[in-house]
Amino acid sequence: MAKSNYVPLFETKQVIGRIFFRCIAASIFLGICFIVMYRVMFFPVGGKAERWTWIGLFLSELWFCLYWFFTTVSRWNSVYRLPYIDRLSQRFGKELPGIDIFVCTADPLMEPPSIVVNTVLSVMAYDYPPEKLSIYLSDDGGSDLTFYAMLEAANFSKTWLPFCKKLKVEPTSPEAYFRTASEPVNAEWLSVKDTITYTLLHQLYNQEKHI
């Protein structure tokens, strides 16, 4: 696939400290060679029990040496991949599969609606084609409180989702974002924050009425 506008989906980088790891591995390998030489050169000639004990120790050491060898070989040239998630939709936007996401809850007292709402809004704000993303809330308790909280969340999502896409918000949970983000001088930012604050306070008020 040789195109002029081709962009990789990830970048491969080498792990820091490979030279240090290889030096340690080389010193361990040298120590293993000395152990093998010692076991072969000083093999006991008298006493059946001593010989079998020596052989058992030697075999166990060979087994651990073999395990160390395969482990070290797998880590000899360690790398890690840095993905570029935003490029996935650019290249395969029309070929991405549909995704169904289920959010489960049961008790509005043990699992406050504010947490459920933040979870659902966070999932809705995924960087994924919205027409291929379906989100379902399974409320085993059938709580009216959770139901009305989701109605509030549905109204707030009309403000929150465009806000996330416009500013590329991370994390996409409203509560987590406004708890960690510094306040910029932006009327839209303050408006969205006031809206989510009102929504959470309204949910807490309804929760207190149902207790």
Is 95 assigned a ligand-binding role in the annotation? no
Backbone angles phi, psi at 102, to 5 degrees: -110, 130
DSSP string, 138-169: EETT--HHHHHHHHHHHHHHHHHHHHHHHHT-
Contact, 179 vs 196, CB < 8 A? no
Is 111 assigned a ligand-binding role in the annotation? yes
Taking residue 124's Cβ as centre, other Cβ atoms within 10 Å add up to 19
Burial (CB count <10 Å: 0-12, 13-18, 19+), residue 164: buried
Find all residues with CB under 8 Å of 116, minimum gap 6, and list them.
103, 105, 137, 146, 149, 150
Q: Encoding tokens for residue 51?
A: 């010989």
Give the annotated binding-site residues: 111, 140
Give the annotated binding-site residues for UDP-alpha-D-glucose: 111, 140
